[in-house]
Structure 1
Amino acid sequence: MLWLPIDRALNIPLNRQVYQQIRKKILQGQLQAGEKLASTRELSDELKVSRNVILEAYDQLLAEGFLIARRGSGTFVADGAFLAQPAKPFIFDNIDRQMAEENIINFRSGIPALHLFPRKTWVRIAQQLWHDSESTILGYGAPEGRIELRQALAHYLLKTRGVECHPEQIIITSGATQAMTLISRLLLTSDDIAIMEDPITNDIQTIFKASGATIYPIPVDELGIKANLLPDNLCPKFVFLTPSHQFPLGGILPIQRRIQLIQYARRKQCFLLEDDYDSEFRYEGPPVSSLQGLDPELVLYIGSFSKILSPALRIGYIVLPTQLIEKCRQLKWFTDLHTPSLDQLTLARFIQNGYMERHITKMKKFYKSQRNLLMHCLQSTFSHKVKVFGYSTGMHLIAEFEHINFTQELLLKIEQFGVKVYPVEDHTIEKGKYNNRLIIGYGHLKRNEIEQGVTRLFQAINN
């Protein structure tokens, strides 16, 4: 007789409990092909449940092919229903890991102050949309995104970043990562060459390397990419840049180098990829205009709202030269049909009604205060042994430490002191130039965490 534990306290119907347990025993080989099962009456008596419970479970197993019924003989396990189980992989205890990391002060860059997200305004706009909009907004959307958001973006980008485009040139994406992936599929094959700043964020390197293309690095200095080192003997598909705030070193590319890049792209008949990831938060001097505004038919302009508002929104965009629009739309359709419509419409109204500019103004003041505190803590704690630069824009700065080499052993020791830091070297293509520099993010931290984090960093380095 089968032993099947029945738990009436579970929120699972009894017939489902019987079905699941018999199914599992057959799949695992505990009940073997040809083996006869107890009759429905016998099993219902044994388990003290209604016979209908057993009938329903058997019927389900018969319908799925686990059992066969033979008139006059009974119910038997069918052939071919045993499935050998693979060895269970080692599973990391993510809960314990997360709990351990709760006590770590994490200086990761690029995380906004999420507690200052304008929730009330966002929710109010979303509620208005649900209440006022036609039911058609709940249907499928266009792969390039809602026209309302593309129109709002075209106006906003021209006003704030000097980006010259028509709404038809904008493709809405699920964050900048999808934008990069689409561009990789649009422009690169395994035989191609892509030029990139060095260092540049490792995630972007990974996306473009996945195409099989060759990545050709160009070093940067305190102003950004060294345009005079662009190779004349190569014909790249594009040059990837962060001209308004070089990641991670923080340089702002001057007009002379921008013109050199435009001239190079024209000569080589290639594109320029401009990643404008956080230049809204500029603290020293006026906003820097986009590279795209110098030649809209050569530059693909990439942006997102992950750092301005929240990574959870997953809304980014590409501003395309006209010759690439249709092919990119097709690729976007193949990828995910379209980006969620309601979030796009909420963001469109948020921009149109002036809330975006107000939010950026508020956040600039907050991040500048955070930056000033971090710089003060670093300089007062490490004195002349640290140099700070790349701090005029964004939510991170670069700290260069005298006579310190941030090896894996030292980074592990620092983490044991309750701090997580990120070496510039992790983002380099050619290794060995930035072993004494850290990327220190500050946007998401509390003021006491910044102070304690710098103190712990000092203790780890000097113990």
Structure 2
Amino acid sequence: MLWIPIDRSSDIPLNRQVYQQIREKILNGHLQAGEKLASTRELSAELKVSRNVILDAYDQLLAEGFLLARRGSGTFVSEGAFLTQHDVPFSLHEVDEKKVKNHIISFRSGIPALDLFPRKTWAKLSYQLWNDIESTNFGYDFPEGRLELRQALAHYLLRTRGVNCHPKQIVITSGATQAMTLVSRLLLSPKDIAIMEDPITNDIQTIFKSSGASIYPIPVDEYGIKTALIPENLHPKFVFLTPSHQFPLGGILPIQRRIQLINYARRKNCFLVEDDYDSEFRYEGPPVSSLQGLDPERVLYIGSFSKILSPALRIGYIVLPTHLIEKYRQLKWFTDLHTPSLDQIILARFIKDGYLERHIAKMKKYYKRNRDFLIQCLQTTFSNKVKILGYSTGMHLIAELEDIHFSKELLLKIEQFGVKVYPVEEHSIEKGKYNNRIILGYGHLKKNEIEEGVTRLFQAVYDEIK
């Protein structure tokens, strides 16, 4: 007789529990092809459940091909339903228990406080949209995106970031990743050269390398890319940089270096690609203007709403020099026709009615409190062993620990203590310069998680020191 434990307190219906367990026993080979199962009457009596429960479970297994019914003979396990052991997935119960048992506090950067998404306002605007929208808006749209969103963005970017553009220069994308991917396809070919800050996020390196082009790294310091080190004999297609908040080290590029970059791009007849990924959250000093405002025909400006609002929206944008608009628009059309239209309309109203700037002001205060608390915890816990860098903007900072090498072994040990940190070295192109630095994202964490995470980190590293 089959041994099938029944959990009557579970939210999973009894027939589903019986189905799942028989299915798993067939997949992992505990019930073998040709083996006869107990009759529905026998199994219902054994498990003390209604016969209908067993009938429903057997019917589902028959429909999916796990079982075979032979008239007058009974129900048998079908041929070919066995998976090797390592292919069998964990049950839902096992996965949930594992998550609870091994709760990891992750200091991943770039994740906003998702629980503070402005749901009520978004729902109100969405409700208004669905009541007012004309049926023509349910059709295919233009690859460059909704005009009302591009108009709202042009006004917003000029007012807050000093971006000088016409709405026709903006193309709405499915996040900043798509914007960069299309830049790669537009500007790079095999054997071309792209200059990049070093370190810079590994994902961006991968995007540009996928074109077959060569990446030429330029080191950064506390102010961003070291423009004096850019070779004059190179002829790059573009220089990629994060001038308002260098990722990951946090430097802010001074005007002198910005002008050097503009002059370099003019001499070399190349472009500057500006990723302005979280410059809205600046805590020290006045806002920093965009690089694009210095030369709109040399700078491609990329932004998104993943950090400001939510990655789930998948809405980003790029501001293009005028002579690149049509080619980029065509690439966008070939990629996915257009970014989903209805969320664009809601976002346009969200910006135009002032909700975006109010939300940013609210989140800026929230993230600053988290940042200050993380700094306090690090200084209290690690004392003079920690140096804190890149904390003036964004949702992460850099912790440099004296005499510590964040090797794979140490990172694994830290994770075993229930905390996950991210080494700067993972994002470096030329390796070996940042082994004692880690990225600590704090935007998505609660204060108790920050405090506990820093304590666990210290315990793991301190034990390593001993």
Shorter-chain TM-score category? 0.7 to 0.9
1:115-161 deviations in Å (ceiling 9; x for gaps): 11000000110110010010111111101100010000000000000
The alpha-carbon distance between structure 1 residues 20 and 119, as it changes in their structure 2 partners (threshold 3 A), is: closer
User: In structure 2, how many angstroms separate the alpha carbons of the residues matched to 1:423 and 1:328?
Assistant: 35
Which amino acid is the alignment partner of residue 425 of structure 1?
E
* Pair 1:158 & 2:120 matched: no
| Greater than 3 Å deviation, 4+ residue runs | 2-14, 16-21, 43-48, 85-102
Shift of residue 389, structure 1, vs aligned partner: 1.2
Q: State the partner residue of 2:119.
A: 119
Q: Is the 8 A contact 1:108 1:440 kept in 2?
A: yes
Q: How does 1:170-189 map to 2 (within 5 A)?
A: 170-189=170-189
The answer to whether the 8 A contact 1:244-1:252 is kept is: yes
Structure-1 separation of matches of 2:95 and 2:221 = 38
Q: 1:343 to 1:94 in 2, by over 3 A?
A: farther
Contact 1:4 1:47 in 2 (8 A): no
Counterparts of 1:57-206 in structure 2, within 5 Å, are 90=87, 93=90, 100=98, 103-206=103-206
Alignment match, 2:278:
278
Q: Structure 1 pair 351/422, CA: closer, same or farther in 2 (3 Å)?
A: same
Aligned positions of 1:21-420 closer than 5 A: 21=65, 90=87, 93=90, 100=98, 103-420=103-420
Describe the SS at the equivalent of 2:434.
Answer: coil
TM-score by length of 1: 0.83
* CA deviation after TM superposition for structure 1 residue 228, in Å: 0.7
Task: Summarize the Cα distance change of 1:230–1:459 in structure 2 as closer, same or farther, 3 Å threshold.
Answer: same
Aligned residue identity for 1:362:
K
Note closer, same or farther for the CA distance 1:91–1:287 as it changes in structure 2 (3 Å cut): farther
Residues 94/12 of structure 1: CA separation in 2 closer, same or farther (3 Å cut): closer
**How far apart are the structure 1 equivalents of 2:96 and 2:352?**
39
Deviation, structure 1 residue 99: 5.6
Alignment partner of 1:324: what SS? helix
Partner Cα distance (1:45, 1:11) in 2: 18
Deviations 1:245-304 (A, max 9, x none): 000000000000000000000000000000000000000111100000000000000000
Q: What is the distance in 2 between the residues matched to 1:240 and 1:394? A: 19
Mapped partners of 1:238, 1:199: distance in 2: 17
**SS of match in other structure, 2:272:** strand
Tell whether the 8 Å contact from 1:172 to 1:317 is kept in structure 2 after alignment: yes
Q: How many Å apart are 1:92 and its aligned residue?
A: 6.7
Give deviations 1:180-205, integer Å, cap 9, x for gaps: 10100000011200000000000000
1:422 maps to which residue?
422
Q: CA deviation at 1:17?
A: 8.3
In structure 2, how many angstroms separate the alpha carbons of the residues matched to 1:44 and 1:98? 38
- Asked whether the equivalents of residues 4 and 18 of structure 1 are also in contact (C-alpha less than 8 Å), the reply is no
445-454 vs 3-12, which deviates more? 3-12
User: Which residue identity is paired with 1:347?
Assistant: L
Structure 2 counterpart of 1:110, one-letter code? G
Letter in 1 for 2:318: I
Shift of residue 106, structure 1, vs aligned partner: 0.4
- CA distance, structure 2, for counterparts of residue 258 and residue 182 of structure 1: 24
SS of the residue corresponding to residue 339 of structure 1 reads: coil
1:76 is aligned to none
Larger-gyration structure (1/2): 1
Aligned counterparts of 2:427 and 2:258: Cα–Cα separation in 1? 23
SS in 1 for 2:283: coil
Cα displacement string for residues 413-444 of structure 1 (whole angstroms, at most 9, x for unaligned residues): 10011100000000000000000001000000
2:195 aligned counterpart, secondary structure: strand
Secondary structure of the residue aligned to 2:190 is: coil
Count of matched residue positions in the alignment of Structure 1 and Structure 2: 410
Secondary structure at 1:398's aligned position in 2?
A: strand
Deviation at 1:12, TM superposition (A): 11
Letter in 1 for 2:214: T
The secondary structure found in structure 2 opposite 1:377 is helix
Provide closer, same or farther for how the CA distance between residues 17 and 100 of structure 1 changes in structure 2, counting only shifts above 3 A.
closer
d(CA) in 2 for partners of 1:348 and 1:4? 62
SS of equivalent residue, structure 1 residue 432: coil
Q: Tell me the amino acid that sits aligned with residue 383 of structure 1.
A: S
Cα displacement (A) at 1:45: 6.9
TM-score (norm 2): 0.82
Q: Quick one: which amino acid aligns to residue 305 of structure 1?
A: F
Separation (CA, whole Å) in 1 of partners of 2:62 and 2:442? 55
Structure 1's 97 and 256: CA in aligned 2 closer, same or farther, altered over 3 A? Answer: farther
CA drift at 1:11: 7.6
1:458 aligns with 2:448: no
1:3, distance to aligned residue in structure 2 (A):
11
Q: Structure 1 regions of 5+ residues with no counterpart?
A: 31-42, 49-82
Counterpart Cα distance in 2 of 1:305 and 1:436: 32
Q: Judging changes above 3 Å, is the alpha-carbon distance between structure 1 residues 430 and 341 closer, same or farther for their aligned structure 2 residues?
A: same
Distance (whole Å) between structure 2 residues aligned to residue 126 and residue 416 of structure 1: 43
Distance 2:395 2:202 in 1: 18
Deviations 1:302-342 (A, max 9, x none): 00000000000000000000111001111001100110111
- Residues 88 and 159 from structure 1, CA distance in 2 versus in 1: closer, same or farther, beyond 3 angstroms? farther
Question: Aligned to 1:318, what secondary structure does the other structure show?
Answer: strand
- Contact 1:282–1:392, Cα closer than 8 Å, also in 2: yes
Q: Distance in 2 between matches of 1:202 and 1:418?
A: 24
